[in-house]
Amino acid sequence: MKWVLIVVLISVIMLIARAFSEQYKDKYDFYYNLRLFLNQFKINISFKQAKVNEFLISLKPRKQFKCFITSYQNYLKSGNLSFDEIKILDEKEKVELSEIIIRLGKNDSNSELKQIEQFLLAIEENLTKAEADKNKLCPMIIKLSLLFAIGLAILLI
């Protein structure tokens, strides 16, 4: 019975660590998808409202990026923009994202291309940082949690 409880304890600790490390993977996926999203606008600079909606419907986003797409669609319909549902971004990143979305589609095509390029540079910085965090912190969290779980199991034996 004691061994079963120890295995359950180790499993629970590892599941918690995995869930915690997922936020770094989600943040990387979010910025990766945002880059693809902006590149799509750059390629199809002449998007009309109906085509934007078709494009958004054609996307099959995962997790947090799905919240972004929903927020963007609501913005196109009502003019209200809120990224409160995107839990992986801090307030500064939400403000930057809001500025990008609000400015998108407000200029002529040449100015729009330049602006999208600037947005992509900012997104690329965030993507690089998110990738570094994902590659460094995810394995570290899992390893430290495993060591903690094993240490706790040894104490309980």
Q: What is the mean pLDDT of the chain?
A: 84
In a domain, 73, yes or no: yes
The pLDDT, as a whole number, for residue 48 is 61
Please give the residue range of the domain that contains residue 123: 23-137
Residues 49-88 as b or e (16 or more Cβ within 10 Å = b) = eeebeeebeeeebebbbbbbbebbeebeeeeeeebeebeb
In a domain, 152, yes or no: no
pTM: 0.79
pLDDT class of 44 with cuts at 50, 70, 90: confident
Q: Which tokens in the block code for residue 124?
A: 């690329």
- What confidence tens digit (pLDDT) does each residue in 63-82 have? 788 888 888 888 878 888 88
Q: What's the domain count of the chain?
A: 1
In a domain, 2, yes or no: no
